[in-house]
Amino acid sequence: MFGIYLKRELGRRKKAALVIALGLALGIALVITVNSVSAGMTQAQDKVLKSLYGLGTDMTVTKARTAPTSGSSGGPNFKFDAKSSSSSTQSSDRVQTQGGQALKSSLVTKVAGQKGVESAVGALSLNVTKVDGSFTQGKAKSSTSSSGSSGQGGPGGGSSSSGGAPQVQGGGANFNVNSYSVVGVDVAHQGLGPLSTMKVTSGKTFTTAQTGSKVAVVSKSYAKEKKYKVGSTFKISGTKFTVIGIATPDSSESDTDVFVPLKAAQTLGDAKNQVTTIYVKATDSKQISTVKKEITANISGTTVTTSADLASTVSGSLSTASSLATSVGKWLSIAVLAAAFLVAALLTSSAVSRRVREFGTLKALGWPSRNVTRQVVGESIVNGLIGGALGIALGVGAAYAVTAISPKLTAQLGNTGGGGGVGGGPGGGGPGQQASQNTLEIALSAPVSLTTIALAVGLAVTGGLIAGAMGGWRASRMRPADALRSVS
């Protein structure tokens, strides 16, 4: 009897049921969309942090670079002997450590021995500024300033991250100033540190036997810029390196152009037994804050940057959109959902009021109030489920539309004060980098999880129960006499 009556009444009141279902559907669709976009924001932020920190890295240890002394040069100087022939071409490299003041390699072992630390590995970030060109006559001196901006190339390939326009004295000259980043990695522990976010798509990565070998893995963007392939060779300060692999970042863009074994990088940078960044993995994520305090207390002068510290420096449209999604979006969803529940309850109550004759007659025939209430609640739950199905369809459609459009969001990476630029992140984040290299572009997606779908179903049932409770309460107060009074 219940099922037959339910089916008949829903069929008779299709328009009213559809209005109630659509009201619930809009609220549920908004909740799904906001939840999915928020999940996409979280994934985007994780990509930013992963590209900076490395897989499995919980924190980095760096040391702020000391302030330059009075009268010191603002950047590297290059000297050339000019020839009278205009065809004379000369080239010079200047290799400098970047990403903070150098630390002794022995500190890596000391950090690894701290309580709560599972593993630690060191890396050395270098910046290579290359100047090449030709003279027409006389002698010339070319200098670059770290605050200037010129040269050729762009981020990730021949960028002038610390180059300025060459200043030539004593004759005409034509120079190109290019800069690129080099990172020395511990080939025995590549699962932690800057190379852990890269996937070698051509060639191979380092072996433990290549501790000091003159081999290199280059980023895909830099290889494309320089037309490098596996087997290509290039020189850094006169030392020839062979490309053994080309790597693609797991997410976003790599800030590092060239990876070489740590010992080879230490030789290039005249930094024997030194590193600029120590990457740390804690035994337990709950121990991160404790480990940070312990390292800071036991190793003076260092700055320990956790993923939380790093996340606080991320700004730009990604940060703004994430804040809106988690604050304004959340409260907007709650407000719209509450309004949808209220409207559904009021419409159900109004529909019950128009069925006075029907319910009064049923009671006159012997139906108890609980049966009438059960009937109204059953109709409301069905309406809620219909609304939930429509809401899921609308919400999933909106989420897939966001993923298909993939709007671009930018993440600007600030400095956490460690002297290493973005907490001493991998691949040469440092004071000498251009601001453009500290900006990542992330494509936003809106993944819909099973948890979100389950939430939508729960909201649909809840909305139906609320509407049913209101309508059932109204129906239970009716008396058989009300049906007679409604007859004109």
Query: What are the pLDDT digits (tens) for 42-56?
Result: 777 777 666 555 545
What pLDDT score does 407 carry? 82
Helices (H), 138-249: 220-226
pLDDT digit string, tens, across residues 179-221: 899 999 999 988 888 888 788 999 999 999 998 899 999 999 9
What pLDDT score does 437 carry? 44
CA-wise closest residue to 304 among 432, 120, 428, 427: 120
3-state secondary structure 234-276: EEECCEEEEEEEEEEECCCCCCCCEEEEHHHHHHHCCCCCEEC
3-state secondary structure at position 426:
coil
What pLDDT score does 243 carry? 96
3-state secondary structure at position 477:
coil
**More confident site: 347 or 274:** 274
What pLDDT score does 420 carry? 39
What pLDDT score does 480 carry? 58
Residue 74 has pLDDT above 80, yes or no: no
What pLDDT score does 163 carry? 39
Mean pLDDT of 279-298: 86
Residues 6+ apart with CB under 8 A from 405: none
**More confident site: 35 or 86:** 35
What pLDDT score does 146 carry? 36
With cut-offs at 50, 70 and 90, classify the pLDDT of residue 436.
very low
The rounded percent of the chain whose pLDDT value lies above 70 is 65
With cut-offs at 50, 70 and 90, classify the pLDDT of residue 4.
low
CA-wise closest residue to 313 among 409, 221, 488, 438: 438
Residues 6+ apart with CB under 8 A from 279: 53, 54, 57, 60, 120, 121, 122, 123, 192, 193, 194, 426
Residue 6 has pLDDT above 60, yes or no: no
What pLDDT score does 233 carry? 94
With cut-offs at 50, 70 and 90, classify the pLDDT of residue 465.
confident
What pLDDT score does 345 carry? 82
Residues 6+ apart with CB under 8 A from 331: none
Average confidence score pLDDT of the chain: 74
Q: At residue 46, what is the residue type?
A: D
The rounded percent of the chain whose pLDDT value lies above 90 is 17
With cut-offs at 50, 70 and 90, classify the pLDDT of residue 20.
confident
pLDDT digit string, tens, across residues 107-165: 999 999 888 888 899 999 999 988 877 655 544 444 443 333 333 333 333 333 433 44
Whether the CB-CB separation of 61 and 288 falls below 8 Å is answered with no
Mean pLDDT of 320-336: 70
- Indicate the helix (H) or strand (E) that contains 2: helix 2-12
Two tokens, residue 31:
């909740």
**Residue 309 CB coordination number (10 Å):** 18
Angstrom distance (rounded) from CA 384 to CA 378: 10
**Residue 70 CB coordination number (10 Å):** 5
Let me know how long the chain is: 488
Whether the CB-CB separation of 144 and 78 falls below 8 Å is answered with yes
Lowest-confidence pick of 92-96, 301-305, 317-321: 317-321
With cut-offs at 50, 70 and 90, classify the pLDDT of residue 479.
low
What pLDDT score does 472 carry? 76
Residues 6+ apart with CB under 8 A from 74: 68, 145, 146, 147
**More confident site: 488 or 254:** 254
What pLDDT score does 397 carry? 92
| Torsion 475-480-481-486 (CA) sign | positive
With cut-offs at 50, 70 and 90, classify the pLDDT of residue 354.
low
Angstrom distance (rounded) from CA 375 to CA 367: 11
What pLDDT score does 426 carry? 39
